[in-house]
Amino acid sequence: MTSGHTRLRLSCADYHVAWVCALADVELLPARLMLDEEHPTPSYNTHYDENTYICGSISGHAVVIATCPQGETGNVNAGRLTGSLFKTFPSIRVAVLVGIGGGIPRTEEDAEDSLNNIHLGDVVVGWPGDGKPACVYHDRGRSKPNGEFEMVGTMQSPDWRLINALGILVSDHELEKTTFDHQLARLRRHKLHRRFAHPGVEHDRLFKASYSHVGNSKSNCAACDYSQLVQRPQRTEQEARGMVFHQGRVATGNSVIRDGKLRDDIGIRCDGALCVEMEAAGVDVNRRCLVIRGISDYADSHKSDLWQSHAAGNAAAFTRELLCRLQTTAVQEMQGVVEVAPWLVPLARPQSFVGREPQLDKIAKHIMSEKSNKLSIYGLGGCGKTALALEVAYRTREQQPECAIFWVPAVNREHFEQAYRDIAEALHIPGVLDDQTDVKQLVKVRLSDERTAKWLMIVDNADDAHILFSKTEKDELCRLIDFLPHSSKGSIVFTTRTKKVAVDLSGNSLLAIGELEKTEAIEVLKTRLDEEHEHQLEDETIVTNFLETVAFLALAIVQAVAFINKNGVALTDYIILYKSSEEEASALLSKEFEEQGRYSETENSIATTWFVSFEQIRRQDELASAYLCFMACVISNDIPKSMLLDEGSDVEQIEAIGTLKAYAFISERQNLRDQNGLQAKHQERTFDIHPLVHLAIRIWIKACGQWRVWVERTLDRLLEIVPLGDHSTIQVWTAYLPHAVHTVSQSTDVPDLDDEGTGIYILERIGWCEFVLGRYRASELARRKVVEWRMEVLGREHIHTLTAMNNLALTLGSLGKYQEAETMHRETSTLQKKLLGRENTETITCMSNLALVLSNLGDYGEAESIHRENVILRGQVLGENHPDTLTSMNCLTHVLKAQRRYEEAETLTRETLRLRENVLGEKHPHTLATLHSLASLLAKQRKYAGAEQMGRLAYEGLEKALGKDHPDTLMCMNNLAYALQKLGKLGAAKEMYQLALGGRERTLGDDHPFTVTSAYNLGHTFRELGDDALAEEMYWRAVKGYEKALGDYHFDTLNSVHSLASALQASKRLEAAEYMYRRALNGKEKTIGKDHHSTIRTVRHLADLLRCMHRYEEAVALYQRASAVLTVANGLEHSETQYCLSYQRELEHILHIQTIDTGNNGVDNDRSRSPDSTNYEELLGEMAIR
């Protein structure tokens, strides 16, 4: 570079060559050293152009060097740089983008010649000469169905004259006629020449793509494993220090590449690209530009600064050598840059945009079509509508540079009108400055003119219908929507959060945008996550969990990653923090962050971005706002329509739900289908509220100070609709139940909310519903809370407290907690007698429940006494034929049956049946239930034919009266199957058991004790049919089901354990069978006592097992125990007593002989005397009939 006392001063229009170097700290100095002389920078409008320019000449060419401020890099800043450059210097004919990039080594087949492969310090010229784009996006191409990658070019190819000059340079280099040494000498003469020196071949290290760097970026791979270096031909010192350049494709993108595998993948996808960088992506697509890059690293994790200045110097030297072969007259003859169509898009291209290709294709087809010029993109706030619209704008600019593109924000009227003024100025419409002129009308007229060039208008954030569709006092004639142009040359794309507005704007030309697909969400995560956290992407489980936490919503992902990057936390830490409490989740979702492609004045956090929509709904649709607030207080999914607030007319309710669906805040579940694939009749409409919206609306309600109000309103509504466990509406209220539990549980966090007891009343209803569903543990939990609250607030002797205690005791009895249930029933009945009297119906009911518990404890005498007294009292108070009196009679029959007083029980049952037929009618459910009881009683007496006959009559009647899936109908079906089984009709019994099991699964759920009982009975049938495997499977299901529903020590649980032991014994797994028998025995001894007949039955079976295992001493002890109890209970001559005594004597004899001759251990194992069939029948009868 020369200098003189006077320097040539040119105007901006005199410069024809643009040298763009985006990295000022690395690329600017070598560029300036290539100038023959520097010129004073001509004056230009710095208000619109903030670039730094150095002007000068090279071989007669007037050259302007443009650079970004130090520290500003990337395609966005490069785009700002070149955008202003070409406006300030309008006569540019040649543009070169010169600097450093990452090398993509060639494949091994192409790398046999060391000069043919890419090395650090080499220069790559972006001109492959194969007819395909010279510079392509590596992150914006399209994958074809055949797996190929369709490349998308970033800019126009250079002028043919510049390409010819490149061809001459290549030829001269082959003939050694270049002057690269002279160009490089310009660098060596500078005082900072050491900066540009070759670092040495020993520092040119290419590691295997899969090997990651060890240490920090300043370590220069000192700790890396050199055995992981790629073995390839090395250059000599002379070759390395000379100029080596390559012609090839350059890949550009939105992010710095520091991954060897990704680098190689880019090379393959981009058809053999030799270099990857990120500035070319920002160059105006309408410009002819040649990319020249010095290779400063291999785009992997071993990237360092060591080679940057040397590589930048080589690129600069090469560029000067090229320009020296280009005639100045040839440059002046080149075509100038065609005036580009107006581009009024104020937002940068989102760096993390990925995917959405089907939607982009649909929008592109719409823009190309001349039939309809309007399309609305709608979807939940934060799903990426604006980002999609920006991508549409930038792609349209790339693919159709002649198309003008206008961006019109519709967040308010002022933004809309300002955008129209900018459009008018860009189109040079006369009269814009006239205060009396309506600029909006001028723009509409111009763009509606068919002579106007092609245009695309994007109306963004058209969420508030009031802004576009309402008139103002100042402008009473027209709405903003009326100023939208219409022309076959133009298209309008709207973005809006609500489908209702979308329909008003573009009819049925709609495009719905939802959450990201999983692959798309992962790509967004990859582009956003700091290098420090990239290793976490290798764990698919963590990534999936994280994306599910943020609901695959684009803005939520970006916000979360911003927090992670700023605070250096792991994905797992974020997940744990988010799920730790609602307060923490709210704080995370409310964090503001900086984001390109979004308006600076708008809220960026996912929580607050919806606040505007919440306010719009509150103003425009009061019922929709109420629905939304109500939904915030219940669970976010499966919300029945009938559970919502019963307010407004039918039309208003439809519109309110439509509003929430239009905003994508809620979604309606698809109607279920029956087994034949037909849509279920009268199917309840149910809705889900988006999980992040659910949390955001709660944040908003609390911010408005309305949380207590809405919790109270929700509790009041639930109190209206949750019943006391009515079977007739079970399909309806089971859907309400989880919401009621959730709302009551969170109401405890609201101070003093329960003073009025609304939550307690709901909890009381929850207890009844859970009880009816057989979920006794949940019922106990609810009822204990009711008892505790009423004792504290109302006192122990309040009537409502006693009712709650009675209900709790009833649940405890169903759970098999008989002692606790007895204690509570006795206390309750004592207080009720004191307060209400023995004759009160509440007292009688409590005493009846006490009798049920006593019966389960084997105290049949007192149980019978209570039931007899209840029959008398109800007869006196209510009348002998009153339904409640007949209910007491029915309860008495069950106690008699439990005592095996079958004849007496049958007589009373027939009398109860006769009275119920007279009082209630033959078809009344209570009458049919008594008929069913009679059938089961006959089965107990082994009158199976009569049991079948009456069972069928009861079943057919109950099916007509209550429906085939009513619990009473299913119980009757179950017991009818038992009679069939005992009659040897095993096929029919199995079929009916299976029907009962299926019905109970549908009606009561898989975990209800009655459902488990059906599975248990089916196991017995399978065993009789000889299918031991299925029998054992059913027994296991029964054991686990009873354990879950009733607990480990419930009588039914222990009986199922006994049956499983019997099945294990039959399959010769004797040790396992012994374990199960002993478990059943220990449990029964604790719960029903050592002498209970069921306990003794298990003792006998265990004795039989030990006898088969030749453990005679243990078996004798058990037979002795059983025979002693049975002698007292049944008499010495009873068959069961004699069975035990027989084996006891036999084994005692064997043991006596063994003391004389230890070798004689024989035993008569004749199973003809085995009680298996008898015991099995008794056990089956004990459990099956229910």
Give per-residue pLDDT as tens, 738-782.
999 988 887 766 655 555 578 888 899 999 888 877 677 888 999
3-state secondary structure of 539: coil
pLDDT reported for residue 366? 85
The model's confidence at residue 463, banded by pLDDT at 50, 70 and 90, is: confident
**Segment among 153-157, 1006-1010, 1157-1161 with least mean pLDDT:** 1157-1161
H/E segment holding residue 366: helix 357-368
Q: Judge whether residue 721 has pLDDT over 80.
A: yes
Sign of torsion, CA 758 759 765 768? negative
Segments in 684-817 forming alpha helices (H): 691-703, 707-721, 730-747, 758-772, 776-793, 799-814
Any residues with CB less than 8 A from the CB of 781 and at least 6 apart, and which? none
Q: Are strands 510-513 and 455-460 parallel, antiparallel or unpaired?
A: unpaired
How many residues are given for the chain? 1186
- Among residues 964, 959, 990, the alpha carbon closest in space to that of 977 is found at 990
Amino acid at 917: E
Nearest to 765 by CA among 719, 713, 828: 719
> Looking at residues 1165-1183, what average pLDDT do you find?
40
DSSP-based helix, strand, coil % in the chain, nearest 5: 55, 10, 35
Q: Above 80 in pLDDT, residue 436? A: no
**Antiparallel, parallel or unpaired: β 135-143 and 149-153:** antiparallel
Q: Which amino acid is at 629?
A: C
Task: Report the CATH superfamily, name and number, of domain 12-212+237-333.
Answer: Nucleoside phosphorylase domain (3.40.50.1580)
Q: What is the pLDDT of residues 131-182, one digit of tens each?
A: 788 888 887 665 555 556 666 666 677 888 889 999 999 999 999 899 999 9
pTM over 0.85: no
Average pLDDT over residues 33-60: 89
pLDDT for the residue numbered 110: 58
Residues 365-393 pLDDT 10s: 888 877 768 999 998 888 888 889 999 99
Distance, CA of 1052 to CA of 1044 (rounded, Å): 12
Give the pLDDT score at 552.
Answer: 84
Residue whose pair of structure tokens reads 């929430």 in the numeric block: 660
Res. 288 pLDDT band, cuts 50 70 90: confident
Question: Is pLDDT of 282 > 80?
Answer: no
Rounded CA separation 1136/1140 (Å)? 6
pLDDT reported for residue 1170? 38
pLDDT at res. 889 = 93
- Comparing CA positions, the residue from 111, 75, 105, 157 lying closest to residue 295 is 105
Q: What is the largest CA-CA distance in the chain?
A: 138
CA of 430: how far to CAs of 346, 423, 437, 443, 1106, in Å?
Answer: 24, 12, 10, 10, 109
Domain boundaries, the chain: 12-212+237-333, 343-513, 528-601, 1006-1184
Tell me the CA end-to-end span of the chain in Å, nearest whole number: 105
DSSP per-residue letters across 561-592: HHHHHHHT--HHHHHHHHHH-HHHHHHHHT--
**Higher pLDDT pick, 347 / 828:** 828
Which pLDDT score, from 0 to 100, does residue 149 have? Answer: 62
| Whether pLDDT at 1162 is above 90 | no
Q: By CB neighbour count within 10 A (0-12 exposed, 13-18 middle, 19+ buried), where does 854 fall?
A: buried
Specify the CATH superfamily of domain 1006-1184. Tetratricopeptide repeat domain (1.25.40.10)
Backbone phi and psi for residue 336, each to the nearest 5 degrees, phi listed first: -70, 170
Provide the pLDDT confidence category of residue 1184 given band limits of 50, 70 and 90.
Answer: very low
- The span from the CA of 849 to the CA of 870, in Å, is 11
Query: Which pLDDT score, from 0 to 100, does residue 1178 have?
Result: 46
R_g over Cα of the chain? 43
- Asked: is 343-513 a CATH 3.40.50.300 domain? The reply is yes
* Residue 1039's pLDDT band (cuts 50, 70, 90): very high
Triad 486, 489, 490: Cα angle to 5°: 55
Q: Look up residue 74 and give its two tokens.
A: 């990337």
Q: How far is CA 639 from CA 633, 636, 715, 735, in A?
A: 11, 7, 15, 8
DSSP 882: S
Query: What angle separates helix 582-589 from helix 571-580, to the nearest 10 degrees?
Result: 120
- Identical fold for domains 12-212+237-333 and 343-513, yes or no, is yes
Over the range 266-288, which residues count as b (16 or more CB within 10 Å of their CB) and which as e? bbebbbbbbbbbbbbbbbbbbbb
What's the rounded mean pLDDT across residues 308-320? 96
Q: Which residue has the higher pLDDT, 87 or 788?
A: 788
Type of residue at 576: I
1051-1108 tens-digit pLDDT: 889 999 999 999 999 989 999 999 999 999 999 999 888 999 899 999 999 999 999 9
Whether the pLDDT of residue 1118 is over 90: the answer is yes
pLDDT of residue 278: 85
CA distances from 347 to 313, 389, 407, 600, 904 (A): 35, 11, 9, 10, 91
Contact residues for 811 (Cβ-Cβ < 8 A; gap 6+):
767, 771, 776, 779, 780, 783
Within 10 angstroms of residue 138's Cβ, the number of other Cβ atoms is: 27
For residues 855-876, give the mean pLDDT. Answer: 89
Residue 678 is predicted with a pLDDT of: 36
Range with lowest mean pLDDT among 65-74, 565-574, 587-596, 872-881: 587-596
- If you average pLDDT over each of 1-15, 716-730, 881-895, which comes out highest? 881-895
Predicted local distance difference test score (pLDDT) of residue 1167: 37
